[in-house]
Amino acid sequence: MPPRIENYRGREQSFIKHLFLNQYLESAAYKLFQGRSPIFNFVDAFAGPWRVSDTNRYSDASFSQAIETLEMVRRSLLDMGRTGLKVRFRFCERNPASVAKLREFAAEKPEFDIQVFSGPFEDNLNGIRSVCQDGFTFTFIDPTGWNVESAKVFEFLRSLNGEFLFNFMAEEVNRHAGWDGVAASVGRFLADPAWKDAFEAMPEGPNETKILQLLKAKMKEAQVATYLTDMAIRKPREDRIKMRLILGTHSGFGVEVFRTVQEKVEKEAVRTRHTIQTEESGQSQLFPEDQVIAFETDRDGVGCSGHKELASELMLRTVACRPGVAFSTLAAEVMEQVPVRTTHLNKVATANRKAGLLRFDLPGGKRTPSPSTRLWPSIKPKK
């Protein structure tokens, strides 16, 4: 069952986070099971339970939702005749009281392959890795702040070569990262004790966006992912960025799925904000909900005109630097940076071709590039 907003009063941002996690997991599992591997390992590295409302079934906790979602995928494929699929659940938690709850939860569900690891994730990496050797591993990293020993975690992610969703706690980082008292812990988070020099050399901007940029650079350097794409989640009651979900993947398909899920979840975030405003004001709002959702997502959502313009600029720059680049490679690189989907990029590429800014062949009858289509810069007329 998908997360239910009634369970998230006062922490609606977690509802959005869980919606995202579930929808991404569902698409990723279908894709994996239909092709690459019959084994899916789900690692909830900072599992909780944490601030849940449903203390009986934990239906508002990530670990329980992951079980429901992945089991639903496995069963629906089984109904279609796909046998031998296996999902492993590996949950890690530092707080002993929460570990006890996780163990109790696991004991009540003997039909699932659940293993609970007690203590800091960073101290359990070898144990978890040894039970995820085969199959595809998806790791959910959801700390409460920035207290993470990233160097160790990066090594774990690199060696498993799977995918991860990292919850970057933007609000906390923004508030505290400039304070000298936390310099050492931010250094551990960034896997770079000397981070301050790079931070201070960066152009003016919010602390959190600078730290995010440094973190992503370190992740790429550690080769934990080919693509790192992210989306902001706002606190709907205060309309302030609370967190940013970062997906690390080696697959262009993963980037496409991320943007597709983002597009859906953005609409839910606007709906949630609108409902809260209506509730708090005690009056019905000036515009109907659907109109508000359309207005806000057209203004700055996935595939809005501003993002398509940015995507177009990046596409032209990339093709100019790497003439002959394949459309699938180009699309994944653009979607990593800009919130657009392949369907938007098809239109952007075709418009640029029509305007004489790009060259590519369209096989008879086709109106948009295929993944293997090679793109070239326009031939400028000689002066």
Ligand X SMILES: C[S@@+](CC[C@H](N)C(=O)[O-])C[C@H]1O[C@@H](n2cnc3c(N)ncnc32)[C@H](O)[C@@H]1O
In the complex, the residues that contact ligand X under the rule CB under 6 A are: 46-48, 50, 61-62, 92-95, 98, 120-122, 142-144
Using the minimum distance from each CB to ligand X, give the nearer residue, 116 or 335: 116
**CB 87, min distance to ligand X, A:** 18
Using the minimum distance from each CB to ligand X, give the nearer residue, 163 or 296: 163
Closest CA to 147 of 116, 173, 124, 179: 173
**CB 58, min distance to ligand X, A:** 8
Give the distance, in angstroms, between the CA of residue 308 and the centroid of all CA atoms in the same chain. 20
**CB 323, min distance to ligand X, A:** 45
For the record, the structure tokens of 228 come out as 């790192």
Write the DSSP assignment of 249-270 as a string of letters: ES-HHHHHHHHHHHHHHHHHHH
**CB 182, min distance to ligand X, A:** 16
Using the minimum distance from each CB to ligand X, give the nearer residue, 153 or 228: 153
Using the minimum distance from each CB to ligand X, give the nearer residue, 230 or 256: 230
Give the distance, in angstroms, between the CA of residue 353 and the centroid of all CA atoms in the same chain. 32
Across 127-269, where does the E strand assignment appear?
136-141, 163-168, 227-235, 240-249
**CB 163, min distance to ligand X, A:** 16
Helical packing angle, 342-354 and 327-337, nearest 10°: 110
For residue 179, the tally of other CB atoms under 10 A from its CB is: 10
Using the minimum distance from each CB to ligand X, give the nearer residue, 92 or 319: 92
**CB 138, min distance to ligand X, A:** 13
Using the minimum distance from each CB to ligand X, give the nearer residue, 95 or 275: 95
**Peptide bond preceding 339: is omega within 30 degrees of 0, i.e. cis?**
no
